[in-house]
Chains A and B, each alone.
Chain A
Amino acid sequence: MEKQKALYEYVLRLADDSLILGHRVSEWCGHGPILEEDIALTNLALDLIGQATSLLNYAGELEGKGRDGDALAFLRYEREYKNLLLVEQTNGDFGKTIMRQFLFDAFRKPLFEKLQHSSDQHLAAIAEKSLKETKYHLKHTSEWVIRLGDGTEESHNRIQESLDALWKYTNEIFYKDDVDSVLIAENIIPSSEEIKAEWTKTINDVLEQATLTIPSNNWIQEGGRKGFHTEALGYLLAEMQYMQRAYPNMTW
């Protein structure tokens, strides 16, 4: 695989993670359990969609077929999205949303820390910018995981259930194929082992403080990086793409 093609594919994966999770989190707008959390989740969604915009525009440039960020966001079909299965999962209760976000933030922070030194300057710039935001996200979600896990019996049981339900999607975070090996060789991206070590440390530290147990069932599910998704993504896209599908090329 040539470098340019691999980089396009990689940037698209990062972009789709941000876009799909950003859309999911934005579904909380106006529905948060308390006003402060409504605002916090909306801010988080805004950061993710902002990151997605930078990444998708860059992916469009790399692809070189005249598609911009909007075309990539709104005019692809389900099988063309390369996001992790984790990020497309439905919001569930507040605890499930926080757990999903925590499992993701614990991966994104070390990833952006490494990517800000990428030999690809454009990707490095996006990572440098996004890292500052991601640190706040991880702080927020870690604190909530601990508060809910080490909270009441009800909150403990419910967030443990969320962890049990989402755990099978975490293996895919470290999915690796040709795209990765080409870019690692060019010093564009870090190896996934480095990121995984940091992710595992954060997960263990926080879950221990939260008195939560990592599921012993090691059944895994993956496919998002290859465009094979769970049922959840189709519904999300139907809502996200509605305007462009109903009124093609409409602009504000």
Chain B
Amino acid sequence: MIDVIVIGAGPAGANAALDAAGYGLKVLLIDEGRDAGGQVWRPKSTSIKKAPKTGAIVQGDTLRQKVRNSSIEVRFETRVWHIETDESENWLLALVGPEKEYTVKSKTLIIATGAYERVIPVPGWTMPGVFGLAGATALLKENMIVPGRRTIVAGNGPLLFFVASEVIRLGGRVSAVVSLNGLWDWVKALPAMLMRPILLLQGIKWILSLYLKRIPVYWRHGVKSVEGKEKVEGTSLTRVDKDWRPVPGPEIYIHGEALCYGHGLSPAIEATRLAGASHHFDPTLGGWVPTVDQYGRTSQSGLYVCGDNAGILGVGAAPIRGAMAAKAAYEDLSGNTGKEINKVIKKRAEIFGRAMTALSIPRAGLLDFIENETEICRCEGISRAEIYQEIKFGARSPNAVKSNTRCGMGPCGGRYCSETVALMASDFTGKTREEIGLPTARPPLRPVVMGEITDDLDYDDLPIPGVSPL
């Protein structure tokens, strides 16, 4: 029997797996990617033969090497689509991948599924040429391609400046950076940023490089609409107040063929929710997060978390969070004491990470940018007006809005729209996000092709439970 399954081979999960293997545990590491590294240390596309050795590449390559040299069993290009426990309290996972191994069991489970992009809609946001900020970083990292001839970078938080500087580094042109945060927001975050002086310097370097290239940075501005006939041709901007409500002022129009646009990261909590852990809402951790002790033990026995899915603290904290989860799993399994962990590094990373995340948390004013016809749910094509009508009529929970409108019933599983719906419900009712709640977690974690998750049926093997009274 496997001692520990780790889902997610980013810096947090891969390090958790390495430490767990180091304790002598039998470990299985699963990731949907081609190799370890996750979003931040993403391996380059195999078609790219030569690339400059950036820090991320070196760190990623080192991690991948360590995993290869360890006793960890790996399943790449494999997705977990359901999580449950069996009658002896072991974890039972359903898989889809090249191995045709449909289920696997373990004594403990570490979930390190990271984070995904949060985007609050504006008119025109579904036009070709609009990329999420995080999606753009993936494109830049994996394929070394810039999104368009001239790129507009807009949204909030630190990712804006990273994306803009990467576009420039790869030889692209940035026509403007549009930040909902004011300079003052950043100044207030300075003390926390001093916890990680190197990252602070790096940030300053990014911003300076923009000023040196005379790229306009619009502080406390937001994208009012994305303009273009068939694809992005530009965006109009507006100033915002401290709640990020648009305020009247001169119209600003920026030309550009690509818009990188986003509002920070959301912890990817579908897996921990499916596994039955308790969650709570903490804006400085990025929203809903599993409720854990300092090592990442969840409310479910034998279930641990590490990395951004346990709260957005970034890559700085990830390896230590991985080590802590592995230690907890090892101690709970064996009764022995795991190795000492330097919690100071985690503490500093946490102060820094929370400050950065607080810059990205959407504020209520963003709802004012959305027009009645603006699409909220892309999969099902549901507009703000349709959702608003249901909320007004009394559907106040994410489940009720979903049932009534189909918002969130498409292939993305509500990943992209549920945040906006919850913000709308909270704004309308005056209730907290905690009171508004989350939609019920259901499998599959991502859509799965039916023929890939089961063998063909041997008809005589069909279990026929007598269930039908005449």
Q: Tell me whether A and B are bound partners.
A: no
Name B's A-contacting residues (CB within 8 A): none
Name A's B-contacting residues (CB within 8 A): none
